[in-house]
Every structure is written in C-alpha cells, then in structure tokens.
A and B are shown apart, each in its own frame.
Chain A
C-alpha cells in the first residue's frame, strides 16, 4: 500500500511538473505581454525602449529558458507579484481560497445531505412515480447552464423579490456581521448546490440499486432485519464506497461550477481570481492559481483511489497496475 501511495504521488508530481510547463507556454500565448502593458500605461516608451525592456526582463529568451528560470524561482518559493493586486501572488491567494472553501464546502454538505436520502428513496422505489420525479429533477440539475441559473436566481430573489443580495460577500459599508455574510452566501451556495446535487443523487441511486441486488441483502432480510435497517445500515454503508469515489473524482467539475458561480455573483474566491487574472493579463497570478487548481484536483483524484482501497478491503493495490476503478 505504501509503495502504491508513493508511486501515485510520484506520478502526480510528474503531471504537475508537466502541466506547469504547458500552462506556462499557454499563458505566453495569451494576448499582449508585460511590455505591451507598460507601453500602454506610458506612451513615451519608444520601440527601442520596448526591445531593451524585453531584454532586461529576459522576454527575448527561448521559452524553455524562461520556463526554467521561472521554475527555479518557484521552487525557491518566489512566484512573483500579482499585477492586479500589486502584492506577491502567495499573499493574495489565502483570502480567496478561504472564500472558495466556504462556498464549495457549504454546497457540498448541502448536496450530500440532499443526495443521500433522495438517491436512497429513488432506489428503494425504483420506477415508481417518485423515482421518475427525482430522476427528472436530477437531469434538470445536470443540464442547466450554471451562469443562466445564477442569472435567473438573481432576477427572482434580488430583482423581482428583493430579499437577497445579488453579489459580493458583504454589504457596502460593512458592519453587517455574520448574518449579512450568510445572506450573501445564500444565492451562490444555492446555485452550486443545484448544479452538483443532480449527479450526486444519480450516483447514490445507481450504487444503492447495485447493492440491493446482492446476496447479503437477501441474507439480512432472511434473518429478519427490518426493511429500514437493511437499507440504511446494511446497504447504504456499502453503497457509499463507489459514491465516495465518484464524488471525489468529480471535484474538478465542482470547481468548474464554483468558477462560474463566483464570477456571476462577484464572489471573491479562487475561481473568480483565476478568471480575473486570465482576463486582466495578470500572468504570474494566472499561472499559480491554475497550477494550484490542477494540484488540488489531482489530490482529490488520488484521495478517491486511496479511499476506494481503504473502504473496500477486497481491493488491493499491491500489484499497482490496472486495478483502478
């Protein structure tokens, strides 16, 4: 097991190193470059000045050279300054990260709290009218464009019935306290929850149906366990194994949803930070935030695999090959 974990960690590190180069190269292909931005803000600069500046900052060197010096600085803990925030990139990130953890954490808890009972009920009454209604709602949640859902919620609850704030994390002027912060979270959390709860419910339902077919469920029934006990104790625990895995694997999707949600509600989280830094030519920030998002998604995938092995003792990764779910 230890060997397997080490091997997977090594692989993830390799993927992150590779992605850092790919993202570095892509960021270099975005419109404009730092010198263009300097010229725009200072029209007295001549083309000769620009060329000299490019040489000073090393922008005329080959891509691989530039990447290697960036990587050397990054390994030393220096990720550069953010252009938009005029502070070191690593100083800016924690606040945004905390906001995203709040948003994603709350809507994750809410989604799971809805998905487990809904999925279990749908699986118990397979093909009943209730199952069909739940299925329809799941498909609606999976299919709705998140940015439009956000707009519709804003129109409903901030424009037509002005009861909830449409953007930000606190009222202008501040001093609103915890209730004010909570009110600002309602619509973003609702949006992200509607986006994720549909697929979670379908995972739970599919896993429960699979488990309820198993022999040990019949055994439990035969020895006289009540139907509720069978479902909530015997079946649910085993059904959770694949569900935990699939949910962890869908972390990247949840983060994509959070990016749109944060952008729509002007919610200062990691997703909005990524989007704003890409759109605002904040190269250092875009690079680091994108890499961070990649690393966290990879970690979630790794945890999913490990959780699968840990929760289901039948799975063994000793061989290390081809045993992935």
Chain B
C-alpha cells in the first residue's frame, strides 16, 4: 500500500534499440567496418593511382607478372597493369553496380508489393503469379541470355551498344529485372496487415486517395523488411555481376571489375595464381560482409526480438 510508484524511465527510441541490438551482433558490426573500409579504399582509387604514379589501364608488356614491389605493392597482371589500383577501381564498380541494382530491384519490388497488397483481388493474384513465375525461373541461364542480347537489334546505335560504360547500366537493369521478387513478397505480406489498421481506415475516411495512402501511410510501416531484404540482396547481386563479368558478358574491359579481372584466369592458374586469388577474395569478403550485415539488421529489426 505504501509502495511509491516510481516514474519509469521513458522507453528508448526505436533507433537506439535498433543500434543496441545491432551492436550485439558482432559479426554484423565487424562487417559494417569492413564494408566502410572497402568503400573508402575504392573511393580513394585515384589517390592511390597518383601516389604510386601508375594508371589503372596503362599497359606495359615489359613488366608483365611483376612480383610485388614498392612501385606495384600487389605486383602487375598479364598486361603489366598495376594489380592494386585495378582492384580498387574494380571495387568501385562492383560496389556501385551491386548497390544500384539492389536499390532498383527494391523499388520495383516495393511498387509491385504495395499494389498487390493494397488492391488485393484479381490484381494481387496476377502480380503474385508473376512473382512466383519469376522465382521459378532458372536465373543464371536467363541472365546469360539477357546479357548476350545484341543491343543494336533493339535499336541502340552501334557505338553506344559497344560503349563499356553502357555495360554498367545494362548489368544494373538486367539484374534488377530478375531480383525484385523477395522484396515484392515481403512488402505484399506487410501491406496486407497494415492496410487493415485503424490509421489507414482513418486516412481513407479523411478522403486520402489510394496513392497517398500507399505512399504516406503504408510505406513507412513496411520499410524495415525492405531494408533487410535489400541489404541481403546486395551480396547476391554482386555475385551475379561478378559471374557474368567473369564469363565476359558483364562489365566490359577496359573498365575493371572484380569479375572481369578473372576472365581468362584459367590460363593464369599455373603462371600467376596470385592474380586469381585477389579479385575473388575481395568479392567473397564483400558478399559475406553484406550477408552478415543483413543478418544483423534482421535480428535487430525483428519486432519479436525487440520485445523479448
């Protein structure tokens, strides 16, 4: 009876809770650090070029397969180009393509998921059948076909179709076209439950149109699965980009990507195994870091885990 009711501390904000839970996942935290370091190094590629006094694409056949030295800390490749600088430039491309394609597929998936979940009925059935259909396709063979398509046959001028820069956009587009399905399913599921909530009914009663309800009232409530799925998909996208580039169908030389640095590696396994090791090891490290990052975010954002 005489107990004093102490005012309890106000509950921590969601962001602080998220940060705290995320920090518990040590591998995710370490991955974040690794990824930031990789991004910084990749961003500093021109600086490394200047410091070492080399250029990423300058061919010098007199110093092919040079061992590591002060001028070339990682040695040189089969055309005498500096391996370190090319690895850094390759990192730019792999990270940029990975993140851009993951974001693009998140946008496609979010739109499809919102439409299917909000309108339901026939549209939902149609969109989800489409999603199931795309999930059921053998991904890599189709990507190989899409990557092999001759762009001049769909009306692109020849010099543009052969421009290496265009191969970047092409990778982003074709990978986004096949990898939006996870986000679409997650957003649809979340939208189905959110659209029944009172605040959505209230917004509709106030006269908000469907577009406004989806963008302003539903989207902010389904954003956490989108973030997790997008983070996890960056790793996958980088794997797809690297294998296509490795096969000679992705990023076109002279632009360096970790995948196309390994094109022709089968001939190097005897003479220069170190050239084979580094690009793949960096793909591996980046992909595993994105996967741990996504895993940590999932743990931290899972509402069941937060209330526990």
Contacts and interface: CB of A to CB of B under 8 A. Distances in A.
Asked if chains A and B come from one complex, the reply is yes
Interface of A: 11, 15, 19, 23, 26-32, 136, 139-140, 142-149, 151-152, 154-155, 158-160, 249, 252-253, 255-256, 259-260, 263-264, 271, 274-275, 278-279, 286, 289-290, 293-294, 297-298, 301, 321, 324
Interface in B242-268: 242-243, 246-247, 262, 265-266
B141 A274 contact: yes
B162 to A, nearest CB: 11
State the main secondary structure of chain A at its contact with B. Answer: helix
B243 A145 contact: yes
Nearest to B242: A145
A290 B139 CA distance: 11
Contact of A19 (B137, B140, B273, B291): B137
Contacts of A142: 291
B276 to A, nearest CB: 5
Contacts of B235: 143
Contacts of A263: 247
Nearest to B286: A143
Nearest to B289: A143
A42 to B, nearest CB: 22
Contacts of A19: 137
Given A145-B284, A148-B262, A151-B269, 9 more contacts: A26-B149, A28-B153, A32-B150, A145-B239, A145-B287, A249-B135, A274-B144, A279-B148, A321-B125
Interface residues of B, number: 45
B288 interface: yes
B280 interface: yes
Contacts, number: 128
A159 B141 contact: no
A275 B247 contact: yes
A253 B139 contact: yes
Main secondary structure of the interface of B (DSSP, over half): helix
A259 B141 CA distance: 8
A297 B149 CA distance: 23
Contacts of A151: 262, 265-266, 269, 276, 280
B26 to A, nearest CB: 10
A207 to B, nearest CB: 17
Contacts of A324: 132
A140 B288 contact: yes
A139 B232 CA distance: 12
Contacts of B266: 151, 264
Contacts of A28: 153
Nearest to B150: A31
Contacts of B141: 255-256, 259, 271, 274-275, 278, 289-290, 293
B148 A297 contact: no
A126 to B, nearest CB: 13
Contacts of A32: 150
A298 B140 CA distance: 15
Interface string B130-163: 0011011111111011101110011000000000
B287 A286 contact: no
22 contacts: A30-B148, A31-B150, A143-B239, A145-B243, A145-B280, A147-B246, A147-B280, A151-B265, A151-B266, A151-B280, A159-B270, A159-B273, A252-B137, A256-B139, A259-B140, A275-B141, A278-B144, A289-B141, A294-B138, A297-B136, A301-B136, A321-B125
B85 interface: no
B158 to A, nearest CB: 12
Contacts of A29: 149-150, 153-154
Contacts of B148: 30-31, 278-279
Contacts of A259: 140-141
B56 interface: no
Contacts of A301: 132, 135-136
| Most interface-central of A23, A28, A145, A159 (chain B CB within 10 A) | A145
A144 B136 CA distance: 23
Given A155-B273, A155-B276, A275-B144, A15 B150 contact: no
A158 B273 CA distance: 12
A256 B247 CA distance: 14
A147 B243 contact: yes
B89 interface: no
B283 interface: yes
Contacts of B287: 143-145
Interface in B263-301: 265-266, 269-270, 273, 276-277, 279-281, 283-284, 287-288, 291-292, 295
Given A143-B288, A144-B284, A260-B243, A293 B138 contact: yes
Nearest to A12: B136
A143 B284 contact: yes
Contacts of B140: 255-256, 259-260
B150 A30 contact: yes
A140 B269 CA distance: 23
A30 B243 contact: no
Contact of B288 (A11, A139, A289, A290): A139
Nearest to B129: A11
